Amino acid sequence: MAGDQEFSTNIQRNCVIRGHRFDALDQDVQQLIRFAQKALATAYAPYSNFFVGAALRMENGTFILGSNQENAAYPSGLCAERTAMFAAGVQEPGIKVLAMAVVVARSDETELGPAFPCGSCLQVLLEVERRQKTPVKVYLKGTSEHVYEADGVSVFLPFGFDPSAFRI
């Protein structure tokens, strides 16, 4: 059409997700995943039967746990990733989050692969990364011994919402 201007941009993103066996991971990562498994036991998921536990490793060496908490009045529940991140903001304000492990299970013991965080959780995690100016390593584990690893949240949400959207 007359008057239309074409434009394009070249956006390159590093979207590498590595897979490992649990027993091949270093002890620090195994410990983080074990904390996420501990959090899994506190999940409340009577409606979906999908239990999620999350653990954060903070820069000062502490661990913060979170689990999904469902509610019959959907969407009043909250995901494990956000419960952990929000708890970190209260319990360890100003301390950087270095890594997060997320584990999933079902009460009927159905085998599950690693599950990726939902869009809302990714947006919260991405904002934490941007605010602290440090990527958060992410480890995802299902019921098998396989673990996915990503060097940061932007791997999963390359075009996340950011404060520039508020500028006119």
Q: So which residues are the catalytic ones?
A: 81
CB atoms within 10 A of CB 167: 5
Helix (H, G, I), strand (E, B) or coil at 128: helix
Element (H, E) at 57: strand 50-58
Helix (H, G, I), strand (E, B) or coil at 103: strand
Could you tell me the CA-to-CA distances from 12 to 16, 17, 121, 129 in Å, in that order? 12, 16, 23, 19
The C-alpha angle 32, 33, 37, rounded to 5 degrees, equals: 120
- For helices 119-132 and 80-91, angle between their N-to-C axes, nearest 10 degrees: 30
